[in-house]
């Protein structure tokens, strides 16, 4: 097949082993990261070499990194930004040295994603991540003690308040400016070492608690790609993140950016949108959510997409216990479903 099927692995502490991942039909690549250092620190070559070896021992290729986190001070454009950008570039070079071809990152202020519950039970007993506006309403992180699931617990409430205030002052245009500075510095390094940088969209793709969000919609994706016109400056197009806003037409976006060869990585999962803008993560099938997966894969196949694909979050099924969204079973079912769609559509469009 043209596309490269991949699976996220959280390293040696992940209850899902590389051996199990290698048993999923058609699995090729591992998406991982070095987890024992903080953002803004250099990744050790030993850790990268070990990751590469471990994957190869199970017949898998470690060639996608998700993610090299961007330090808040880079996003905020604080005084130490040059030093932090140099560390970032060094990490890209080191990843490339150990075979990595694609590096995912995001430019979301403070929180990588927002959900109100990680184990919402469906009628069939499976559980998944959800965001209900009803549960968010009336909460103000500047005055309340909020601990939403998935938020970095290493921040104190005061630190969170300080960051939220700083981002409020920075605003969207300030964040765009700092993103451009990041790209000007990092993309030439990525080009030099044969890596495609893939920005992950904001999840969800609209402001939360007044924090600016910029990787959200077609106009902003266009603006982002124009900031640095190079295949090394590409998208990690996450159908579930962009798809939890009704204003995003996912197959249309996929078709457009695949035709421009500006998608390096596809995160494919489904979400079920509610009338009030709330959403539930659902199984991967088209019939289970609001996104038509046949149309998404068709848009890729029409454009001979040969980048990376991974089944993004799955539900917890069959009694599995593990990291919410990142169990083995439902993501494996997602990969198998996607393999079927890709085989059919790639054959259809390569004729
Ligand atoms: Mn994603």
| 233-238 and 127-131 beta bridge pairing | unpaired
CA of 218 to the centre of ligand 1 (A): 17
Q: Which of 98, 105, 326, 329 is catalytic?
A: 326
Q: How many A from CA of 60 to the centre of ligand 1?
A: 21
Distance CA 142, CA 157 (A): 9
Is residue 71 flagged as an active site residue? no
What residues does each domain of the chain span? 4-109+172-269+290-349
Going through the chain in order, the beta strands assigned E by DSSP cover: 4-8, 29-32, 61-66, 102-106, 117-121, 127-131, 196-200, 233-238, 263-268, 270-273, 279-282, 308-311
User: Among this protein's residues, is 326 annotated catalytic?
Assistant: yes
Kindly indicate the confidence band of residue 161, based on its pLDDT and cuts at 50, 70 and 90.
confident
Distance 79 CA to ligand 1 centre (A): 31
Categorize the per-residue pLDDT at 140 as very low, low, confident or very high, splitting at 50, 70 and 90: confident
- Ligand 1 centroid to Cα of residue 313, in Å, is 8
Q: What CATH number labels 4-109+172-269+290-349?
A: 3.20.20.150
What is the distance in A from the centroid of ligand 1 to the CA of 222? Answer: 19
Look up 95 and say whether it is catalytic: no
- Catalytic residue selected from 14, 203, 312, 330: 312
Mean pLDDT of the chain: 94
Name the active-site residue from 238, 244, 284, 329.
Answer: 238
198 beta partners: 104, 234
Q: Is 267 a catalytic residue?
A: yes
Rounded to the nearest whole angstrom, what is the distance from the C-alpha of residue 245 to the centroid of ligand 1?
Answer: 14
- In this prediction, residue 351 has a pLDDT band, given cuts at 50, 70 and 90, of low
142 CA distance to ligand 1 middle (Å): 28
pTM given for the model = 0.95
Active-site residue, selected from the candidate residues 267, 308, 330, 337: 267
264-306 per-position pLDDT tens digit:
999 999 999 999 999 999 999 999 999 999 999 999 999 999 9
pLDDT value of residue 139: 77
pLDDT of residue 309: 98
Instruction: Give the mean pLDDT of 70-76.
Output: 96
Residue 224 CB neighbours (<10 A): 23
147 is catalytic: no
Q: Residue 239 pLDDT > 80, yes or no? A: yes
How high is the pLDDT of residue 113? 82
CA 312 to ligand 1 center in whole angstroms: 6
Residue 58 known to be catalytic? no
% of the chain at pLDDT higher than 90: 83
Cβ-in-10-Å burial (0-12, 13-18, 19+) of 275 comes to exposed
């Amino acid at each position: 097949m043209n596309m490269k099927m991949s699976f996220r692995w959280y390293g040696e502490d992940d209850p899902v082993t590389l051996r199990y991942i290698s048993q999923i039909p058609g699995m090729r690549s591992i998406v991982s990261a070095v987890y024992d250092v903080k953002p803004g620190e250099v990744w050790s070559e030993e850790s990268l070499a070990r990751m590469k070896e471990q994957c190869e021992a199970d017949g898998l290729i470690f060639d996608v990194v998700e993610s090299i986190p961007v330090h808040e001070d880079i996003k905020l454009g604080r005084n130490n930004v040059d030093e932090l950008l140099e560390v970032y570039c060094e990490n890209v070079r080191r990843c490339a040295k150990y075979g990595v071809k694609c590096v995912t990152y995001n430019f979301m202020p403070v929180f990588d994603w927002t959900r109100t519950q990680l184990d919402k039970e469906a009628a069939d007993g499976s559980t998944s991540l959800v965001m209900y506006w009803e549960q968010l309403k009336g909460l103000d992180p500047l005055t309340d003690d909020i601990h939403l699931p998935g938020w970095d617990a290493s921040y104190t409430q005061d630190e969170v308040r300080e960051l939220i205030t700083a981002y409020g002052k920075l605003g969207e245009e300030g964040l765009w400016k700092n993103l451009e500075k990041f790209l000007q510095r990092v993309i030439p390094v990525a080009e030099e070492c044969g890596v495609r940088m893939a920005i992950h969209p904001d999840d969800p793709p609209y402001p939360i608690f007044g924090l600016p969000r910029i990787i959200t919609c077609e106009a902003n994706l266009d603006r982002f790609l124009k900031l640095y016109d190079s295949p090394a400056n590409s998208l990690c197009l996450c159908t579930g993140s962009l798809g939890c806003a009704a204003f995003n037409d996912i197959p249309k976006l996929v078709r457009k950016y695949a035709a421009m060869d500006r998608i390096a990585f596809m995160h494919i999962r489904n979400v079920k949108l509610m009338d009030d803008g709330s959403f539930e993560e659902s199984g991967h099938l088209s019939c289970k959510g609001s996104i038509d997966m046949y149309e998404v894969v068709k848009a890729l196949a029409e454009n001979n997409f040969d980048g990376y694909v991974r089944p993004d979050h799955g539900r917890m099924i069959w009694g599995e216990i593990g990291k919410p969204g990142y169990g083995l079973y439902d993501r494996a079912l997602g990969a198998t479903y996607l393999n079927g769609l890709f085989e059919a559509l790639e054959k259809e469009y390569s004729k």
